[in-house]
Structure formats: C-alpha cells, structure tokens
C-alpha cells in the first residue's frame, strides 16, 4: 500500500506472544521491517500480550519494552491479571486494553480509540464464555455500544479471546451484522486457515496463532505439559527453551471512510536463531 493513499489503512495484528521467545521473535520481525524500510506498510500494529511475561500476564517492564518496539495497541485476555504489578500501571497505560466484559469496576478499559492517519481505529477486547470463567455477555455489550463507537471510529477491530471455535465463528458473523471491521480470534495459540471477509465487510480468522518456541506445547515446555495432562495434578508450566521460533500474525486493509475490510492475509514463519544473538 502506498502510504500517501489516505483511503486505505493497513493493520498488522500479532497473535499471542508467549514469554521471552515470543517477545524476541516479535521484536526481530518489527526490527526487520524498520531495517528494510517496510514498517510504513503498516499504519497500525496490534498485539495480544496476555502471555508475554514468562507465559502468564504482562509486567510493566515488558509493556514498555514492547511499546518501544513499535506496537501501538496491546490486547489481552484471561491471563492479563497473572502478574500482580498489572494493577499498578494498567490504568495509566495509553495502549493496553483488557477484556471489556469483565464486571464494571475492573481495572483498566475494554476498548480504546486511536488516531491513525486521517481516521480513527477503535480496538475492542472480549472474552468468550464457552469453557471460560463466567463473565458478562460480549453479545450484549457489542449490541449496546457499537453504534456509539462507530460514530467516532469508522474502523472497529475486535480481539475475541475465546476457547470454542463455534463461538468465535458465530461472534464473527454477529459482529459483521453490526459493521465491525475485523474479528480476530486469540487464546488457543494455533493459527487457523479460515481467514475470510464475512458479509463482504468483516475480516475474520478463528485464531491468529502465537509467537514463541516452534517445538513446544503452544509455547510451553513439553515435559511440564505432559506431566500435568497425564497426572491431572496441577503443575507449574515453564516456557520451552529453544532458539527455533515461530511468528504468527494477520495483516489487513480497511477503507478509511467506511471501515469495510478489503483484505486479510495470514503471516506465519519459522526461524532458527541458533546462529543469531537475540
């Protein structure tokens, strides 16, 4: 996309990054865009960060590190509360959002509106309710609030952090009926091959995937994952240690006036960093 084309906005959405390996491969990817003068291809960059600090939660140090890497908005999920210093900074962050359908009075905010080029982008975050802890209805919140949001921001992007694929697909179609620009699934960490534009308006994928160790159990070590699954006894998960890393994301383009999605493409690559200092 030509940066001078004010009728189109291009967005990069990065799937759940898991621990230091996830942060490293994301920073390397964004750094490669800068070094190749390609970062101008993206007007706005979003990343799900709920697993960015040793696989659970987000520390303030890592928040600032990822902001410095060029990520404009951080979405999250049910693990965002796992690092307790979140309570000391979430209300002061200008880019972090937590799921909107937590009860009223919860720390942080469930959506933010950003100025991007000559338009505005609203980023919303919701938790699914199937196989998840009880939360308020994302369906009702979207129905009640979307008209007001669309009046201010033509481009509306939703991170739907959910377990069940059917719930994600149904929510994507529901959002398309309310003229949401994109619904991007997160949480399961496995990139799906169903990217599409629903009802000729809403960019959609069931799961954007994850960023972290390639030969792992969705970012975690095999041995601790195996022990927990075989014995059913709670076991502390550890990040898998390897320098073969995986990067998953989607890139999308939108009409800057209407908010209609024009394209969605998956990004997935595996890179061996054994001979590269990270």
Q: Among positive and negative, which fits the CA dihedral 272, 56, 156, 178?
A: positive
Is-above-0.85 flag for pTM? Answer: yes
Confidence band for 278, pLDDT divided at 50, 70 and 90: low
Helix (H, G, I), strand (E, B) or coil at 187: coil
Considering the chain, what is the average pLDDT of its residues? 94
Give pLDDT tens digits for 92-104. 999 999 999 999 9
Average pLDDT over residues 257-273: 97
In angstroms, the CA 109 to CA 97 distance is 5
> Do 172 and 117 meet the contact criterion of CB atoms below 8 Å apart?
no
Burial class (CB in 10 A: 0-12, 13-18, 19+), 204: buried
Rounded mean pLDDT of 182-186?
A: 98
Domains by residue range for the chain, with CATH: 10-272 (3.60.21.10)
Percent of residues, the chain, with pLDDT higher than 90 = 89
How does pLDDT run across 45-82, given as a tens digit for each residue?
999 999 999 999 999 999 999 999 999 999 999 999 99
Q: What is the pLDDT of residue 38?
A: 55
pLDDT of residue 41: 81
- Three-state DSSP class for residue 100: coil
Q: What angle do CA 262, 271, 248 make, to 5 degrees?
A: 30
**Among 187, 185, 145, 188, which Cα is nearest to 169's?**
185
**Band (36; pLDDT cuts 50, 70, 90):** low
Output the pLDDT for position 237: 86
C-alpha–C-alpha distance, residues 208 and 188, integer Å? 9
Say which range, 36-50, 78-92, 146-160, has the weakest mean pLDDT.
36-50
- Residue 183 pLDDT > 80: yes
Q: Select the more confidently predicted residue: 261 or 238.
A: 261
Q: What distance in Å separates the CA atoms of residue 76 and residue 161, rounded to the nearest whole number?
A: 8
Distance from C-alpha of 235 to C-alpha of 94, rounded to nearest angstrom: 35
Residue 79 appears among annotated catalytic residues: yes
Mean pLDDT of 240-262: 97
User: CB–CB of 152/114 below 8 Å?
Assistant: no
The answer to whether 163 and 188 are in contact (CB under 8 A) is: yes
How confident is the model over 94-133, as pLDDT tens digits?
999 999 999 999 999 999 999 999 999 999 999 999 999 9
Which is catalytic among the residues 79, 161, 187, 189?
79
Hey, how many other C-beta atoms are within 10 angstroms of the C-beta on 94? 9
Beta-sheet pairing, 119-127 with 155-161: parallel
Each residue's pLDDT tens digit, 15-35 = 999 999 999 999 999 998 876
pLDDT at 37 over 70: no
> For position 235, what pLDDT does the model report?
79
* Maximal C-alpha separation, the chain: 58
Q: Residue 18, SS3?
A: coil
* DSSP codes, 119-131: EEEEEEEEE--TT
Q: Which of 116, 113, 197 is nearest to 151 (CA)?
A: 113
- Could you write out the DSSP letters of every residue in 49-78? -TTTTTTSS--HHHHHHHHHTT--EEE--T
pLDDT in tens, 205-231: 999 999 999 999 999 999 999 998 999
The bridge status of strand 210-213 relative to strand 244-255 is antiparallel
């Amino acid at each position: 996309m030509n940066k001078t084309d004010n009728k189109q906005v291009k967005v990069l959405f990065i799937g759940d990054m898991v621990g230091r390996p996830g942060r490293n491969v994301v920073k390397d990817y964004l750094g490669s865009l800068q070094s190749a003068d390609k970062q101008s291809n993206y007007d706005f960059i979003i990343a799900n960060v709920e697993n960015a600090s040793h696989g659970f939660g987000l520390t303030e140090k890592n928040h600032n590190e990822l902001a410095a890497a060029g990520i404009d908005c951080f979405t999250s999920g049910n693990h965002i509360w796992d690092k307790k210093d979140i309570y000391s900074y979430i209300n002061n962050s200008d880019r972090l959002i937590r799921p909107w359908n937590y009860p009223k009075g919860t720390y942080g905010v469930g959506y933010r509106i950003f100025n991007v080029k000559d338009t505005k982008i609203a980023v919303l975050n919701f938790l699914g309710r199937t196989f998840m802890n009880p939360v308020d209805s994302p369906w009702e919140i979207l129905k009640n609030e979307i008209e007001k949001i669309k009046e201010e921001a033509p481009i509306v992007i939703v991170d739907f952090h959910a377990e069940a694929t059917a719930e994600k697909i149904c929510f994507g179609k529901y959002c398309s009926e309310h003229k949401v620009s994109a619904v991007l699934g997160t949480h399961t960490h496995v990139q799906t091959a169903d990217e599409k534009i629903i009802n000729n308006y809403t960019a959609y994928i069931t799961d954007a995937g994850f960023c972290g160790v390639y030969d792992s159990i969705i970012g975690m070590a095999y041995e601790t994952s195996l022990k927990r699954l075989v014995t059913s006894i709670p076991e502390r998960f550890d990040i898998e240690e390897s320098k073969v890393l995986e990067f998953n994301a989607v890139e999308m383009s939108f009409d800057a006036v209407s908010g209609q999605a024009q394209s969605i493409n998956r990004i997935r690559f595996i890179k061996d960093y054994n001979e590269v200092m990270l």
